[in-house]
Structure 1
């Protein structure tokens, strides 16, 4: 396995683990970790408890200890919102770099691009953080748990595709095309078409810098990034030195 693939695998594993912790953290902080199962005990005095109630009370006390222990452990990472934002930001950058066709899916689980919340299908993770719910519980913060899991599943699917034959074929075809384009520029130069050769090489260089930048998480709000944008990003990430940047 190449060093680059090892790096991506390591990053994906760390993100997937973080995603699972975020999901647990969200459930504790934004949902009812007790599932409403023991709420009735508060409406009764202990004298009114029967044997089943006493058994439930014992289970409730054990569960409260487990929940608090987990909450204390996860809170060391920061607030649940901050931890999710770390997961989302890193996840979105990796998805955009490796499988840009899935970036909109990953993003759409977090927030709506347009329109309002009309039904369950419109619910997003950001709605869960705002504790938005319907009185009949058609959707509630608990709905967001499945959406976070869907983001984790996207990362798992992309991670698994890194070692697939299709991924290898795509990389090979890209390199073959790159070599063919360079050969075309050489041919133009040999025929005296220097300007055309230079223009073709510019396109080749831009395509290469774009590919490398995206593999390392390049994201821009511009409609079309330029060679200068890629160059600045690669220098900022210390992937090229000052000589290469110039």
Structure 2
């Protein structure tokens, strides 16, 4: 896979996620005020098309979380400077003591939260709709980033190289070269973590090992504890494949290592 095809893949993902976002905005409005939404749609596009639109909308609460996760991953890779803003529209603010219109977010909508004062609803799910519309605009801004001469394709090229090397590890395993497959996968993981350390400006000692990279990222709070444990396990599998001492690595060991490395290079940046 070339850097161009990798870029095209990101563009295709963006188009799909943007189209889904538009449908989710409609679905959210339908969830919040079904009668009003149906009436408004009928007035704008006619009864028959309105019914077809409503029929084709994805259930909001069943589909938003997946869209949010995928959109966050894309932003993290392509436009990381907007990721925190994107998340802010979803996540309940830390330390919030009570709900008001200004701090009601999409997570509140997902939980069905409302604010009543004296038996009257003062804040409800309608307050979350502008947040989803803002998320949609942030995601759409990625399209301009792709066309900008300032867009840094270094990470895309880096991802291409690692994908190619990992494909080589799979081919080795397919031909029953278990230990070499694990060695190659371990090298891919080490190179990727070296890139992650550099992108986060994390300090490491001279001539660091894979274990040093993992611990440095944990100490810098780039890794969560579950991610740190998962990478520690991958390092153990790598050691088993690399060193002749100890138990012989199995095909399952190499397969788990390759799968874990593949997940890491696609989710940790």
Asked whether the two chains share a fold, i.e. TM above 0.5, the reply is: yes
Q: Quick check: 2:75–2:82 contact (8 Å CA) kept in 1?
A: yes
CA-CA distance at 1:122 after TM superposition? 0.9
The counterpart of 1:105, out of the listed 85, 90, 94, is 85
Matches within 5 A, 1:89-238: 89-116=69-96, 117-134=98-115, 139-168=123-152, 171=154, 206-208=193-195, 221-222=224-225, 228=234, 233-236=260-263
Q: Could you give the per-residue CA deviations for residues 38-94 of structure 1, whole angstroms, max 9, x where no partner exists?
A: 9xxxxxxxxxxxxxxxxxxx969x65x5543322212xx4x3211112211111111
Where in structure 2 are there 5+ consecutive unaligned residues? 159-188, 200-221, 236-256
Q: Distance in 1 between matches of 2:90 and 2:27?
A: 16
Q: Quick check: 2:99–2:115 contact (8 Å CA) kept in 1?
A: no
Q: Could you give the per-residue CA deviations for residues 4-57 of structure 1, whole angstroms, max 9, x where no partner exists?
A: 11111110010000000011111112224526989xxxxxxxxxxxxxxxxxxx
The counterpart of 2:5, out of the listed 3, 6, 12, is 3
- Aligned length, in residue pairs: 181
Q: Quick check: 2:106–2:128 contact (8 Å CA) kept in 1?
A: yes
Q: Could you give the per-residue CA deviations for residues 104-133 of structure 1, whole angstroms, max 9, x where no partner exists?
A: 222221121412344222110122233434
Q: Could you give the per-residue CA deviations for residues 160-217 of structure 1, whole angstroms, max 9, x where no partner exists?
A: 212212114x739x99xxxxxxxxxxxxxxxxxxxxxxxxxx98663236789xxxxx
Change (3 A) 1:36 1:8: closer
CA-CA distance at 1:141 after TM superposition? 1.6
Q: Quick check: 2:192–2:265 contact (8 Å CA) kept in 1?
A: no
Q: Quick check: 1:27–1:33 contact (8 Å CA) kept in 2?
A: no
Q: Distance in 1 between matches of 2:141 and 2:198?
A: 21
The counterpart of 1:28, out of the listed 27, 30, 36, is 30
Q: Which residue is 2:51 aligned to?
A: 68
TM-score by length of 1: 0.57
Higher relative contact order, structure no. (Cα contacts within 8 Å, ≥ 6 residues apart): 1
Q: Distance in 2 between matches of 1:37 and 1:93?
A: 36
After superposition, the CA RMSD in angstroms is: 4.2
Structure number with bigger Rg: 1
Q: Distance in 1 between matches of 2:262 and 2:226?
A: 21
Q: Quick check: 2:92–2:108 contact (8 Å CA) kept in 1?
A: no
Where in structure 1 are there 5+ consecutive unaligned residues? 39-57, 176-201, 213-218, 240-246
